[in-house]
Structure formats: structure tokens, C-alpha cells
Amino acid sequence: MPGKFIFLFVFLFAAICSLFAQGSEAANHELVIRGEVYIDLEPMYIGHIDEEYPLNAQTAGQRALDELSLFFSAMVYGWAFNYEIGERARGITENFELEQLGVIQRSDPAMRVTDTSVSNSQLRVWADYQLNDAQRRRMNVWRTNIVRNAQAVGYGPSAIDEYPGWFALKKMALEDAAKNALRVMLQGSERNRPKEVNGFISLASFPRYYIESGRWAVSARFRVQVTDIIPFAAY
């Protein structure tokens, strides 16, 4: 991108985000969580061109706020999960479901964009989120000794007939990472493969997205609280 266009893009994006930059002046690490997102300005997925190509400043800014909302929500509130692990020999299909437990809106005044830049056709955005007392208590629960750490890489679909949208594709990859992290964690702790597992899972930090073989891949760390393990013997 020409230097003048990059300057104009960042200037316009800063103007868009100014409404969201009214957070606390001082950063207290016990009260603030922080993360970074990257938005592709020329989005394409397995041969499917995005509905807007290339992105203008307003669209890129709104997408950044959507991702920030998703990741901050996943860190603070997380999801309830039900994982039917499945087994081919028994004809049991794998099924993984997530239920979001809370949402931080992209217009939340506690979310504060702190830095933006453009490089290699990507918009880079750093943001802080100021936790209130109730949210801080939730975060403390995620850090107790009843919660386990897990991490994995997840992938978006390798083939699509109809483009579902950039946000849906990134969520698919993140949900796949959560499922893979659970599977790896259970393989390391359960002697016998369970039939079904229930509990709660949250992001430990912002995930890292990248393109692999033309599709989204994401490396993510999670915190997991297992509440129920159902063995095959129970059926």
C-alpha cells in the first residue's frame, strides 16, 4: 500500500474507534485484560472472495471490534460445552456443542482501542478491556485449581460450497481448536476413552490466526472445567 493511503487508513480507523477509547487512563493488570487482532484487508478464502474487496476503513474497523468482542467475551465468560467424543467402531458420531455464557458488546465503553497499524495488507489492532468487580470474580474462578489448561490448533473448513462470511469461518476454526484441546487433554488424563464430557471452557488469551493450505488455522490456549464424564460402561 502507498504510504499516503496507509496514513489515511489508520487516521480514518482511529476516528471510527474514538467512541470506544474512553476507558480507564491507568492500566491495572489485575483489572485489565489485553489482546490483539489482525484483519485482512484483501480477504479471500479457498477461492471465495469476500463480499467487500478490498475492505474500506469503516468495514475493517467494525470487523476488528467484532473480533475483540468475541475474544474478550470468551476470556471473561467462556462457553458451556457438551462433547460426545464418538467412536467409529461403535458407530457413534462425534458431536461438539458450545453455548456462549455471556457477551461483551463491541460498543461496551470498557473496551478501549489503544493502538492501530497497517502492514502487509493487514490491520493490526490492540485493545484493553476494563473488568468490573463481577467480571474480575469470574476471571479469578477461571484461574482456580479446579480449572485445567489445554491448547491446540483448530482449522476452518477445507472446502465450502457457499461462503458463510469471514466471522463464521473464524468461529469455526476457534471451535475446532476448543474441541481438539479437549480431546488432547482427556487423552492425557483419562485411562479409558469416555463417551461424553460436559463442562465449561474459556480462552486463556487471544488466539493466533494464520492461513494454512488456503484455510484458516488458529492456535489457542484454553481453561477447562470438566463437570461430568460419562463412560461407555454407563450405556
Inform me whether the pLDDT recorded for 181 exceeds 70. Answer: yes
The pTM of the full predicted model, rounded to 2 decimals, is 0.86
DSSP 161: S
Count Cβ atoms below 10 Å from residue 66 Cβ, excluding itself.
16
pLDDT at 231 over 70: yes
Band (51; pLDDT cuts 50, 70, 90): confident
Mean pLDDT of 57-80: 97
- Which amino acid appears at position 32 of this protein? V
| Predicted confidence (pLDDT) at residue 213 exceeds the cutoff of 50 | yes
| pLDDT tens, position by position, 107-138 | 999 999 999 999 999 999 999 999 999 999 99
pLDDT in tens, 79-114: 999 999 977 777 778 999 999 999 999 999 999 999
pLDDT of 27 above 50: no
Q: Among 132, 151, 129, 141, which Cα is nearest to 200's?
A: 141
Distance CA 75, CA 87 (A): 31
The Cα–Cα gap between 98 and 175 comes to 8
Closest Cα to residue 167, out of 51, 23, 10, 27?
51
What is the mean pLDDT of the segment spanning 44-49? 85
Is the per-residue pLDDT at 4 higher than 50?
no
Q: What are phi and psi of 182, to 5 degrees?
A: -60, -45
Q: How far apart are CA 58 and CA 35, in angstroms?
A: 20
**pLDDT tens per residue across span 134-165:** 999 999 999 999 999 999 999 999 998 888 99
Confidence (pLDDT) at 176:
98
Number of H helices, E strands in the chain: 4, 11
